[in-house]
Amino acid sequence: MQAVVLAGGEGRRLRPLTANRPKPMLPAANQPLLDHVIQAVADAGIEEIVLVVGYRRDRIQNYCGDGDRWGVDITYAVQPQQRGTGDAVLQAAPHVEDSFIVVNGDRIIDPQAISNVRDRHADTGDPAVAITEVDTPSEYGVVSLEGGFITHIEERPAPELAASKLINAGVYAFDPTIFAAIEETAHRGELGLPDAINAIAEDRPVHAVPYGGRWLDVSYPWDLLTVNETLLGEAPPPDAETATVHDTAVVADHTVLGADARVQPQATVLGGSAVGANVTVGPNTLLSNAIVLSDATVMGGTIVRDCIIGANTTVGPGTVVEGGRADVPLAGVVHEDVRFGGVLGDNTAVGGNVTVRPGTILGNDVTVDGGAVISDQIEAGTVISRG
């Protein structure tokens, strides 16, 4: 059986991290979310993958190639515009021969989620959709059930209108008739896969397949820290062979170091931290619950807590990312009391002795002069002088 993996999306709520890379390429435990997904697909015994790509697809193609690293064959289907999950699945149609699995390329799941829907579909011939229970169902597609069958999926209902805590886990098994169903539901600019499922559910059974395993979603930047910490807490991947740690530095458990990462004298890398490829962690620097993307330099005597540092960014000596909790306004909603030290965007230069208040979101290509105190949201390309 083939799997269609949807990886065309941008992930706007995760800006600036998604300005230069698509959401599926955000790293958790030093591996892109998509890597974890493809691994699960491969572990479920599926060897043929159609990867639907679009936004910043070069990043995905560079990383995934033809799939040899997972022992799978990857074919690419390009979604020229982001027009929803249904449209994404349609792009895969020319490459799909028979019944197939659909999974999201940016949500980490266990292989079981895939094998469950596959088996149910194989047994019954009907569409099968994995459902799972979450605490915040109104952020997702809430399912209404009737005797083990899905009758309706309601996308992001108001919290008081959520029918249950059961949501569409985004793992499906279909036969090729789904393509016609998607085309028939093309009523507005965006083609959602749930719309097609709702239409099908009126005529034939759509099996709800309960799934209680790992289901890790990244909606907001701080979620990436949580998912990263969770993965590192379970089973951190081995450090790259070319990573170096000075004898006097301390690297705690539940961390990971990428290729040629360098942890310099007296530096401390505490749990929950993922240090990317070719990153320098300067002398006496402390990283705690931090994600440092590739090619970044964190100079000496710096403290970085609960923070994501973008690729190729330089953080000057003595700078402090305070970490801890903050109320973060994002896209018109205030997210209260989230543990989020901040994001420093890609290709950004933060000077020495800068203080980064909790919840700061610094865009890409920003320059911050030494000694500044920064907070809130700062647009890409800004130059911040002290004072």
Partner 1 sequence: MCGITGYVGDDDGLEIVHEGLQNLEYRGYDSAGVAVQDGGLRVHKREGEVSNLELPTDVDTDCGIGHTRWSTHGEPTDRNAHPHTDCRDDVAVVHNGIIENHASLKTDLEATHLFDSDTDTEVIPHLLEDALADVDGNGDALVAAMQSVTDRLAGSYAIAATTADADGIVAARQDSPLVVGHGDGEQFLASDVTAFIEHTRRVTFLENGDLAYLTDDGVTIYNDGTVVDRPIQTVDWDADAAEKGGYPHYMLKEIHEQPQALRQALAGRIDDLAGDVDLDLGLDPEFLRDLEEIQVVAAGTSYHAGLYAKHLLEAHADVRVTVDIASEYRFTGGRDPWNTLVLAITQSGETADTLAAVREAADHGVTVIAVTNTVGSSITRAADDTVFIRAGPEIGVAATKTFVSQVATLALLAVRFGRERGALTPTEAAAHLEDIHRFPGAVQQVLDAEPQIEALAETYADADWYFFIARAAGYPVALESALKLKEISYVHAEGFPAGELKHGPLALVTGDTVGFAVLTAGADPEQTAHNVQEVKSRGADVVAVTSDPDRLEDVDATIPVPAIDTLEPVLANVALQLFAYHVADHLDRPIDKPRNLAKSVTVE
- DSSP string computed for 29-68: TTEEHHHHHHHHHHHTT--EEEEEE-TTHHHHHHHHTTSG
CB of 65 vs partner 1, minimal distance in Å = 3
Q: Does 260 bind partner 1 (CB under 8 A)?
A: yes
Q: Largest alpha-carbon pair distance within the chain?
A: 68
Q: Does 96 bind partner 1 (CB under 8 A)?
A: no
Candidate list 10, 47, 61, 353; residue touching partner 1; CB under 8 A: 61
User: What burial letters (b/e) apply to 257-269, b meaning 16+ CB within 10 Å?
Assistant: bbebbbbbebbbb
The answer to whether 64 and 73 have CB atoms below 8 angstroms apart is no
Which window, 84-92, 126-134, 197-205, 292-300, contacts partner 1 (CB under 8 A)? 292-300
Angstrom distance (rounded) from CA 175 to CA 164: 28
Q: Does 131 bind partner 1 (CB under 8 A)?
A: no
# binding residues, partner 1 (CB under 8 A): 36
Left if phi > 0, otherwise alpha if psi is -120 to 50, otherwise beta: which for 295? left
Candidate list 31, 85, 228, 264; residue touching partner 1; CB under 8 A: 264
Angstrom distance (rounded) from CA 230 to CA 187: 40
Candidate list 297, 302, 319, 360; residue touching partner 1; CB under 8 A: 297
Q: Does 262 bind partner 1 (CB under 8 A)?
A: yes
Site for partner 1 in 329-368 (CB under 8 A): 346-347
Write the binding mask 210 to 249 for partner 1: x where contact by CB under 8 A, - elsewhere. Answer: --------------------------------x-x-x---
The upper half-sphere exposure of residue 153, i.e. CA atoms within 13 Å in the direction of its Cβ, equals: 27
Candidate list 15, 23, 36, 57; residue touching partner 1; CB under 8 A: 57
Q: Does 379 bind partner 1 (CB under 8 A)?
A: no
Q: What is the number of other CB atoms lying within 10 angstroms of the CB of residue 159?
A: 10
Tokens at 304, concatenated: 């970085």
Q: Does 186 bind partner 1 (CB under 8 A)?
A: no
Q: Exposed, middle or buried: residue 163 (CB in 10 Å: 0-12, 13-18, 19+)?
A: middle
Candidate list 295, 302, 362, 374; residue touching partner 1; CB under 8 A: 295
Chain residues that interact with partner 1, rule: CB under 8 A: 20, 51, 53, 57-58, 60-62, 64-69, 74, 76, 242, 244, 246, 259-260, 262, 264-265, 277-278, 280, 294-297, 311-312, 314, 346-347
